[in-house]
Every structure is written in C-alpha cells, then in structure tokens.
Amino acid sequence: MSQPWITLLALVLFPRPPLGSEVPDIQVNGLVNGTVRFLHHFGTNSTTQCTVWRTTKEEKVEVAEYRSNRFTTTNQLYQNRTSFSKSELTINNLSKEDSGQYTISCWPSPNSATKKKNYMLTVHEPLPPPTINKTLRGCNATGCSFTLQCLTPNTSSNVSCRWEILHHSFNECTIQVLLAFSSLGTEYVCFISNPAGKQVASVTAWQLCSVSGKIMMQCFIWGHWLLIVLGLIVTVLLAIALVKHTLYKTRCTKKRKDSKDESKILLNKNKKDGPKQARQVGNISVEPKAGLMKQMKQRISSKKKKRQMRDTERTQTGQ
C-alpha cells in the first residue's frame, strides 16, 4: 500500500493537464474560397472509426465520421466540401464562418486507445496588392530624398509589411530613400503578408523621377550624361573649327588686299620716274616705246658698221 504523501508529491510534480487541453492545437490558416488540409496520419482500415468535431465559443458540432471504410459528412454546412483519407482531412471552398477548432478522434479498433488531434483554423480574406505612396522631401547636390510608404488594406487583419532594396530587407512599412545618380537602376519592392498569403508591389527609380518636373530634369541629366558630354565636346570642336576657318579667311583676304596695294604703288612710281625706267607689274617688265626704238636703231647701226669693216678687210686681202 503506497504512502499518501507519495501520491500527493506525484500530483504536485506531475499535475494532470486541464480537461480539453490534453492535445495542443495545431494552427492552420486558410483563404476565403481556398482549401485547407488537416494532417493526422492516423491510418485507416476496416475497423477504424473516426469522428470530426468543430468547436466554437457557442457550440460543439459533429462535422463528419468515418465508419467501415466509408466517410460520411454529417453536417449540411460541409456537404460536398470535405474528404477524408488515412493521412488528412480536407475542406474546400472555405468561408470566414469555417474558422474555429477542429478535432479528429480515431479508434483503430473498438478496444484500442483513442488518437486525437486538435486544429485551430483561421480563415483570412485574400490580400489585395499593396499601394506605394511616394513623397518627395527635397533635393540637393547629392540627390533627392523620398519617403516610400507601403499601404496595406484596412479590411485585412494581422497584416505585416517589409521592404526589400538590393537584397537588403527592412521590416518597416515606411522608409526613407535617396535617389541619386548611382541608384537609377534600383528597384524598391514592398511585401505585405498575413498568415495565409502575401502580395508584392514595386517601384523603380525611374518611376520616382516622374514625381515632379524638377527631379525629372535631374534624372534626365543623370541618365543621358554621356550623350550630353559628347554633345558638348562636338559643339566645342565645331566652334574651334569655325573660328580657325574665319581667321584663315581673314588672313587670305588681307594678303590679297596688300598685294593689290603694292602693285598700285609700283605702277604709280614707274609713271613718276618717266619713260626711261621700266615698269614692273608682277613678274613682267615693260619698257617705254621710245627706249625700244632707240635700242633697235643702235643694233642696226652696229650691224652696218660690222658689215662695212668685213667688206674693207676682204678688199685689202684681194689686192
């Protein structure tokens, strides 16, 4: 016979769990019009008997039962929406009214121990995509500062949000970002989620550029800086070439004018010196007509004298 104090000590050290909480609940989440699966893995055979219960704050009702290898839905609210196998219970076309505690109890044979699992089902509305609110805070020499806010729908509960930028995650709904030349290729991704699913929205740096005309012009300069620099270089080169061409043309015109002036000066000088001096225009020498006639007469007279001298010498030689 055991001592009473031993029994009392055992009750203190190893208390029995409260009634109805022997098996902890397994949290299961589903979406409206979706499907959930309660995994039990109890197995079934010809002697297996199972009962599915649903418990809410108001009542506990039977949903379905499994007897002699046959599954029967006993609650009209779940008719044509449930199925049962040796490993899981499935409920389709969920509604928010399906939320509550579900219990699956199975007996492999009439005299065997009961196997039981409890599930807490929560049915959520599907999440719509989030909305991104973009606010320009200001611009300076380094870039433009923005506030990005990931807006979640008011109708959804237990919704969390986070941002992902260049593979870095931020568990906040509102972030501050700096849009600069180095971040033009960046994408800002917003995630919202509840226990049943998630939705995603994103905004690119170029979309931030369209927030105002000022930042749009700055983004255009950042995005096309190479073309702008090349255009400036080409413009400067064309200006230099035009200046050189103008200077060359001016020098040539001046040279031609100076050459004409020199020619006029020479002509005027020859006219003043009289007919005895040669007048030179370019590379051609022009003598006065009187001088030419005199030279021709002198040549003719010289030739006559030479002829007479030869005739005299011949006469003397013949004698």
pLDDT (tens digit per residue) in 218-235: 665 555 444 555 556 667
d(CA 134, CA 147): 6
Residue ending a domain, among 75, 105, 124, is: 124
d(CA 263, CA 259): 6
Structural domain count, the chain:
2
**In this predicted structure, which of 70-74, 132-136, 190-194, 279-283 has the lowest mean pLDDT?**
279-283
DSSP secondary-structure letter at 292?
Answer: H
Residue ending a domain, among 223, 247, 264, is: 223
Sheet containing strand 36-39, edge to edge, reads: 36-39, 88-91, 82-84
d(CA 132, CA 164): 13
d(CA 169, CA 164): 4
**Predicted pLDDT at 149:** 92
120 and 138 assigned to the same domain: no
Q: What is the CATH number of the domain that holds 218?
A: 2.60.40.10
66 and 116 assigned to the same domain: yes
97 and 146 assigned to the same domain: no
152 and 113 assigned to the same domain: no
Asked if residue 257 belongs to a domain, the reply is no
**Domain that residue 86 falls in:** 21-124
Helix, strand, coil shares, percent, the chain, to 5: 35, 35, 30
**Predicted pLDDT at 290:** 61
In residues, how long is the chain?
319
H and E: helices and strands count for the chain = 5, 18
Average pLDDT for 263-291: 55
